[in-house]
Amino acid sequence: MRTTLLFIPGNHPAMLQNADVFGADGLILDLEDAVAATEKDAARILVGEYLKSWKLETPELLVRVNGLPSGWLESDLEAIACDRLSAIVYPKAGVEELYEVDRILSEIEKKHRLSHPIGIIPIIESAQGVVETDDISYLPRLKGMLLGGEDLTADMEIGRTREGAELAYPRARLAFACKAAGIDAIDTPFADVHDTEGLLADARTARSLGFTGKAAIHPNQLLTIRTAFRPDPKDILWARRVMAAAQDAAKKHQGAFSLDGKMIDKPVVKRAEGILSRAGVQDGAIPHETK
Amino acid sequence: MKIGSAGTLESNDALVTVQEGVGIVVSIDSIVDAFFHDRIEAEVRGELARMKKQNVHVTIQDKGALDFTLRARVRTAIERMEGSQ
């Protein structure tokens, strides 16, 4: 589950060594925008050593690499290739580039004798990336797609607002493409780290469109994102009642049934199952709230 | 003489400076020297051995770097030294 993915600057030892304490589902160790051109070598070696020294199973470790046009991609991959690396986060993704990245990764995996393939989470952050979203979603290695709102709005030469109406179309396209391909849809970070209310509304909008998670640029955003993506207690209660009623209906060989005066059929039961799944409810029990 | 450096003087980092010399010499100035001097030196010498370096002088200004940071800063400094004119 990738509900919360936290960006960590790749050349910052203090942040790297404490990054696991915040409770993010995954860490995106950043070699791209967070690192000055003169420090790319230091950052990729530091992140490589960090990955190789990592002993824990969680959180998931991902690295945002520099893209092919930068000329740094292969050096990045050489430095970070190890079994602890789950996936690379690939910036300004397009279909043709991702085929080439897949080829390079295959060579790296063979050379380093990795026990599992390195996944890719492309960042959709250009107009071209948005129109290619459907094709990208079915490429090999994909674990999800991440929307990059800042670069996308810059590419479109439009403003980025607190409400995010300008992202409605790319969000919808990405969410549908990811759902169809069975991969995670991860929403763009919310830029104002002090605006908790704005972040909550933004994350709820993403969730309502079908996103499965959201990236964060500061640890203090994680709890708000988790809150937005966690099903509402009222919805969990409703879903449990639906599931209980569905079991009774199945015993009576009923395909559809009524609950609180409303018809419940297969799509509604499926929605109830999804709510309980996202809430982590198993065997009818509601787990303890977690941070 | 070729010189290379990497890292910073920020907390949890180390500023590593290397230069060509005769044999291996490691100088350490650390905020945790009383407790970790030997471990820091062993980590530095281990990284030099992995890189097959036998003639280099290393100066470490350590601000509490963990092992992975020390190894990374030493390697980066060596690579920068080798790439310098």
The pLDDT value recorded for residue A282 is 62
pLDDT digits (tens, 9 = 90+) for A124-175: 999 999 999 999 999 999 999 999 999 999 999 999 999 999 999 999 999 9
Among chain B residues, the shortest Cα distance to A18 is held by: B12
Q: What is the mean pLDDT of residues A112-127?
A: 97
Q: Tell me, what's the pLDDT at A286?
A: 46
- Return the sign of the alpha-carbon dihedral for residues A224, A230, A231, A232: negative
**Most confident of the ranges A192-201, A249-258, A272-281:** A192-201
pLDDT at A254 over 90: no
CB contact under 8 A, A53 and B68: yes
Task: Please tell me the total count of domains within chain B.
Answer: 1
Query: Which residue of A14, A41, A50 is in closest CB contact with B68?
Result: A50
pLDDT tens column, A12-65: 999 999 999 999 999 999 999 999 999 999 999 999 999 999 888 889 999 999
Whole-angstrom Cα distance, residue A169 to residue A181? Answer: 18
Site of tokens 């051109």: A37
| Token output for A216 | 């964060």
pLDDT 10s digits, B2-61: 999 999 999 999 999 999 999 999 999 999 999 999 999 999 999 999 999 999 999 999
Using alpha carbons only, what angle is made at residue B68 by residues B63 and B69, rounded to the nearest 5 degrees?
Answer: 35
Q: Kindly state the DSSP code that residue A219 receives in the 8-state scheme.
A: G
β-strands B14-20, B56-62: how paired?
Answer: antiparallel
Name the average pLDDT for chain A. 93
Q: For residue A167, give Cα distances in angstroms to A173, A193, B31.
A: 10, 19, 49
Q: Which DSSP letter does residue A36 get?
A: -
Strands B14-20 and A262-264, by their bridges, are: unpaired
Q: Do A53 and B67 touch (CB under 8 A)?
A: yes
C-alpha dist (Å) from residue B29 to A40, B19, B34, B43, B75: 26, 17, 10, 14, 18
Is the pLDDT at A187 greater than 50, yes or no? yes
Residue A74 clears pLDDT 60, i.e. is over it: yes
Instruction: Provide the token pair at A130.
Output: 């948005």
Which residues lie closer than 8 Å to A80 by C-beta, 6 or more apart? A31, A44, A47, A48, A51, A63, A65, A88
Q: Does B57 touch chain A (CB under 8 A)?
A: no
Assigned token pair, A142: 């994909």
Measured distance CA(A200)–CA(A190) in Å, rounded: 9
Q: Which of A17, A45, A53 sits opposite B76 (nearest CB)?
A: A45
H/E segment holding residue A213: strand A213-216
Which residues of chain B have a CB within 8 Å of the CB of A46?
A: 68-69, 72-73, 76
Residue-range definition of the domain harbouring residue B38:
3-83
Q: Domain A4-229: which CATH class?
A: alpha beta
Output the pLDDT for position A56.
81
Token readout for B44 is: 């530095």
For residue A281, is pLDDT > 80? no
Q: Indicate the pLDDT class of residue B85, thresholds 50, 70 and 90.
A: low
Mean per-residue pLDDT, B63-82: 97
3-state secondary structure chain A: CCCEEEEEECCCHHHHHHHHHHCCCEEEEECCCCCCHHHHHHHHHHHHHHHHHCCCCCCEEEEECCCHHHCCHHHHHHHHCCCCCCEEEECCCCHHHHHHHHHHHHHHHHHHCCCCCCEEEEEECCHHHHHCHHHHCCCCCECEEEECHHHHHHHHCCCCCCCCHHHHHHHHHHHHHHHHHCCEEEECCCCCCCCHHHHHHHHHHHHHHCCCEEEECCHHHHHHHHHHHCCCHHHHHHHHHHHHHHHHHHHCCCCCEEECCEEECHHHHHHHHHHHHHHCCECCECCCCCC
* pLDDT at residue number A287: 43
3-state secondary structure of A162: coil
Q: Measure A49 CA to nearest chain B CA, in Å.
A: 5
Q: What is the pLDDT of residue A291?
A: 36
pLDDT reported for residue A1: 82
The reply to whether B62 touches chain A by the CB within 8 Å rule is: no
Sorted by sequence, the CB contacts under 8 Å of residue A58 that are 6+ apart come out as A20, A25
Question: In whole angstroms, what is the distance from residue B23 CA to residue A273 CA?
Answer: 67
Residue A61, token pair as written in the block = 């470790």
Instruction: Count CB atoms within 10 A of the CB of residue A250.
Output: 12
pLDDT score of B1 = 83
Question: Which of A17, A41, A48 comes nearest B79 by C-beta?
Answer: A41
At B11, which CATH number? Answer: 3.30.230.10
Question: What are the residue boundaries of the structural domains of chain A, listed by start?
Answer: 4-229, 233-279
What are the angstrom distances between the C-alpha of B76 and each of A220, A278, B83? 32, 44, 10
pLDDT at A232: 87
